Amino acid sequence: MNQDARTLTLAEIATRLGARLKGDGERRVSGLATLRDATPDQVAFLANRAYLKDLPETRAAAVLLAPAHGEACPVASLELDNPYLGYAELSRLFDPLVGRTPSGTHPTAVVADDVRLGENVAIGPQAVIEEGVELGDDVVIGAGCVVGADSRIGEGSRLHANVTVCHGVVIGQRAILHSGCVIGGDGFGFAHDGGRWHKIAQLGGVILGDDVEIGSCSSIDRGALGDTVIGDDVKIDSQVQIAHNVQIGDHSALAGCVGIAGSTRVGKHCMLGGGVGLSGHLTIADGVQVTGMSLVTNSLLEPGIYSSGTGAMDNAQWRRNAVRFKQLDDIARRLSRLEKVGRSG
């Protein structure tokens, strides 16, 4: 990052984070780094015990950590009960994009005559804003973006370069959409007559709540009749596919390559690990966690942690297990017969 973007004293950081400072409050720092890589003008953080081994040798100006590790810190410390949450806040203080938000409409952008623009809106080169669009205050539309007709984007939202927002999409406040994502493309809807497929027009839209973030090259399809709805504070990683009429509750998080089939409902505060697949028309309760690469084919109606599949193993062992898996049904039948004989005897 640009080390000249901003400098802060340790006292200023402690005040901002509500941290207990041990050390020179006038010491100035200009960035963040890991315990191992930090230089004397940077702050490091310790949120995972696996990195305790790096603490004694750190060269950081200060370390953000839990009180339990304060005595072992060889440099100034910023103590917080949740150092990872403090790190998240501190990262925003040193974000090089802060204070560099563009404004105005680039001369190569194409903006329809009836578009309604809030205050301090920025529209980048080659962007296209179609008729009937409403952009709230402080919205940033990156280079090459397309915002389809009659869409609305809430205050403080940012579209990075080459985002496509199709017609009739509603995006809440402070949303962040990364490059290459597509919001509101047609859902995968076709009827088959026995010989060929016939397209079903997708008449719904997409609604994104406030504080939603969507990673690069992710796709959220518009609804077939009703809307696809993504709740407030939902975080979606890169290369995620969300099909038509899916609903995702507030504060849920989806890691990379998750795929959700149509009309599934995911509750609030859910977490789906990388590569998780959800079949269509399921209900996932609030507070469900599904570990990476799991396939979910039935509704999960109770909160908890769910997993499926097997982890990687030696190929020869996997081949033996694969053969045995095919034999399980026969083994179960034979066992059932033996149990019946045992009971009758």
**pLDDT recorded at residue 230:** 98
Q: What's the CA gap between 25 and 9, in Å, rounded?
A: 6
Residue 304 · residue 285 · CB < 8 Å: no
Give the separation between CA 137 and CA 119, rounded to whole angstroms: 5
Residue 311 forms part of a structural domain = no
Task: Evaluate whether residue 327 is within a structural domain.
Answer: yes
Query: Quick check: 157 and 121 in contact, CB under 8 A?
Result: no
**What is the model's pLDDT at position 6?**
78
* One-letter identity of residue 338: L
- Whether residue 117 is contained in a domain is answered as yes
State the CATH number of the domain containing residue 227. 2.160.10.10
**Among the ranges given (2-6, 17-21, 249-253), the one the predictor scored with the smallest mean pLDDT:** 2-6
Residues 83 and 124 in one domain: no
Quick one: 116 and 87 in the same domain?
Answer: no
- Of 93, 128, 159, the one marking the end of a domain is 93
Q: What is the amino acid identity at position 28? A: R
In a domain, 142, yes or no: yes
* 1 has a pLDDT exceeding 50: no
Who's near 159: CB < 8 A, 6+ residues apart? Answer: 140, 141, 142, 145, 147, 153, 165, 177
Q: Looking at residue 129, what is its pLDDT?
A: 98
- 139 and 29 within one domain: no
The yes-or-no verdict on residue 325 having pLDDT over 80 is: yes
- My answer on whether 84 and 108 are in the same domain is no
Q: What is the mean pLDDT of residues 76-89?
A: 96
Looking at residue 102, its pLDDT comes to: 74
Last residue of a domain, one of 56, 74, 93: 93
Do 124 and 247 lie in a common domain? yes
Same domain, 112 and 153: yes
337 in any annotated domain: yes
Query: In 10 A of CB 158, how many CB atoms?
Result: 20
Q: Which of 57-66, 90-99, 187-196 has the lowest mean pLDDT?
A: 90-99
| pLDDT tens, residue by residue, 100-153 | 667 899 999 999 999 999 999 999 999 999 999 999 999 999 999 999 999 999
Interatomic CA distance for residues 287 and 300, integer angstroms: 10
User: Final residue of a domain: which of 69, 93, 117?
Assistant: 93
Tell me which residue range forms the domain holding 341: 319-345
What mean pLDDT comes out for the span 74-89?
A: 96
Average the pLDDT over 259-282 and give the result.
98
259 and 335 part of one domain: no
Rounded CA-CA distance 199/219 in Å is 19
CATH code for position 75: 3.40.1390.10
Q: For helices 83-93 and 10-17, what crossing angle results, to 10°?
A: 120
Residue 341 has pLDDT above 90, yes or no: no
Phi and psi for 318 in degrees, rounded to 5? -60, -40
Average pLDDT, the chain: 94
Tell whether 221 and 256 lie within a shared domain.
yes
> Is 255 contained in some domain?
yes
Tell me the C-alpha distance between 106 and 324, whole Å.
Answer: 64
CA–CA dist 170, 249 (Å, integer): 16
What pLDDT, on a 0 to 100 scale, did the predictor assign at position 95? 83
198 included as an active-site residue: no
Q: Is residue 2 part of a domain?
A: no
pLDDT band at 311 (very low <50, low <70, confident <90, very high): confident
Closest C-alpha among 209, 205, 207 to residue 225? 205
Q: Are residues 158 and 70 in the same domain?
A: no
Mark whether 212 and 257 lie in a shared domain.
yes
pLDDT confidence of residue 145: 98
Q: Is 99 a domain residue? A: no
Residues 146 and 267 in one domain: yes
The pairs formed by 100-103 with CB atoms below 8 angstroms and a separation of 24 or more are 101/138, 101/140, 102/140
Same domain, 183 and 226: yes
Annotated active-site residue in 106, 244, 251, 269: 244
Domain total of the chain: 3
**Residue 4 pLDDT level (bands cut at 50, 70, 90):** very low
